[in-house]
């Protein structure tokens, strides 16, 4: 990916943030934007819609990039990660640090390998978030085991999340599972809100090589639905509560007669909150595992629309 324009510069430090669906990656990126501390960050993210950007801070935006008054840049991965990375690296005034949000079902080691191979970049490490509420249950699912273990093996640092909601020794069970997967992985228990952000710019063990880089097939599928009419809230809640266990993650915004709602669904846990953004694209996206059920799920979701 290197070009003559980029190789003359000092390499740009790059950190990869990974972790399974719903582990808290977006919450961490929101913190980074709010507490950049003078750093000009370039964030490559999966979806602009999840990032809480104050509209007053936006200097410019297009379909793939948002530039902020504090010098930070958010670039959407879309369908072409390498192109998004190239956009940042070849800018006239590139960011001082690049943070990449790996997909929830991706092995971050593959992204880290690009940074190791490109002279325009300097890998600072891989941070993997682990949700203590769901990790052990997901780990024993044969369809998810390889993905979760691969993510942990790629980590230079593991951050445990949702600790305040853990009960009955869940955190200890997760730590024991992490020890079995990779005993030398450093683990911190601060959660997303308390993590010292400087760790993202100087992760321990970032030079240990491309552990976990081996390729693997994964059994995930995804889909989306765009609503043309407002939803009946009661009907929508019923549909969401009756989703099959194969649906791991669902998110988006819907319109109802009582107001617009942000929908978050992770491993059977549903949140419907007032939507506080500007403008509404009434749509939901979802990720599942095992036998594909996209068509039937889209049909169920559309059935929640008002007549």
Please report, for the chain, the start and end positions of each structural domain, with discontinuous segments joined by +.
4-201, 220-302
Q: Which residue has the higher pLDDT, 48 or 74?
A: 74
- In this structure, of 51-55, 92-96, 151-155, 265-269, the range with the lowest mean pLDDT score is 51-55
Name the pTM for this structure.
0.74
H-only helix segments in the chain:
4-7, 25-34, 81-89, 108-117, 135-139, 145-153, 170-181, 191-194, 233-241, 294-302
CATH no. for 4-201: 3.40.50.300
Q: Measure the CA–CA gap between 57 and 54, rounded to whole angstroms.
A: 6
Instruction: Determine the pLDDT at residue 204.
Output: 58
User: Which residues does residue 221 pair with via DSSP β-bridges, in sequence order?
Assistant: 288
The per-residue pLDDT of the chain, averaged, comes to: 80
Identical fold for domains 4-201 and 220-302, yes or no, is no
Is the pLDDT at 303 greater than 90? The verdict is yes
Which residue would you say has higher pLDDT here, 95 or 277? 95
Of 3.40.50.10330, 1.10.490.10, 3.40.50.720, 3.30.1220.10, the CATH number of 220-302 is: 3.30.1220.10
Give me 223's structure tokens: 């889909």
Which strand ranges, in their side-by-side order, compose the sheet holding 121-131? 58-61, 65-68, 73-76, 41-45, 97-101, 12-19, 121-131, 157-161, 187-188
| Least-confidence region, from 24-38, 133-147, 169-183 | 24-38
Average pLDDT over residues 189-201: 83
Question: CB of 285 within 8 A of CB of 224?
Answer: yes
């Amino acid at each position: 990916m290197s070009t003559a324009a980029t190789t003359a510069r000092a390499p740009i430090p790059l950190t990869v943030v990974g972790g399974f669906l719903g582990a808290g990656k977006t919450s961490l990126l929101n913190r980074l934007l709010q507490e950049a501390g003078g750093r000009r960050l370039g964030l490559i993210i999966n979806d602009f819609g999840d990032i809480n950007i104050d509209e007053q801070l936006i200097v410019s935006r297009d379909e793939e990039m948002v530039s902020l008054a504090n010098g930070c840049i958010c670039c959407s991965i879309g369908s072409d990660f390498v192109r998004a990375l190239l956009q940042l690296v070849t800018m006239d005034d590139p960011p001082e640090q690049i943070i990449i949000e790996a997909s929830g079902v991706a092995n971050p080691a593959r992204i880290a390998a690009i940074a190791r191979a490109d002279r325009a970049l300097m890998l600072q490490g891989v941070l993997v978030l682990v949700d203590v509420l769901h990790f052990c249950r997901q780990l024993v699912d044969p369809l998810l085991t390889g993905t979760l273990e691969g993510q942990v093996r790629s980590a230079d640092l593991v951050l445990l999340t949702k600790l305040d909601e853990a009960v009955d020794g869940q955190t200890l069970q997760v730590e024991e599972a992490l020890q079995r997967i990779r005993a030398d992985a450093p683990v911190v228990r601060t959660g997303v809100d308390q993590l010292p952000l400087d760790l993202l710019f100087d992760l321990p063990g970032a030079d240990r090589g491309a552990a976990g880089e081996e390729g693997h097939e994964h059994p995930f599928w995804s889909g989306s639905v765009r609503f043309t009419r407002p939803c009946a809230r009661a009907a929508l809640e019923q549909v969401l509560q009756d989703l099959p266990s194969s649906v791991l993650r669902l998110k988006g915004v819907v319109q109802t007669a009582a107001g617009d709602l942000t929908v978050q669904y992770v491993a059977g846990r549903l949140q419907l909150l007032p939507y506080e953004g500007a403008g509404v694209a009434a749509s939901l996206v979802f990720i599942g595992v095992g036998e594909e059920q996209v068509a039937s799920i889209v049909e169920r979701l559309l059935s929640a629309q008002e007549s």
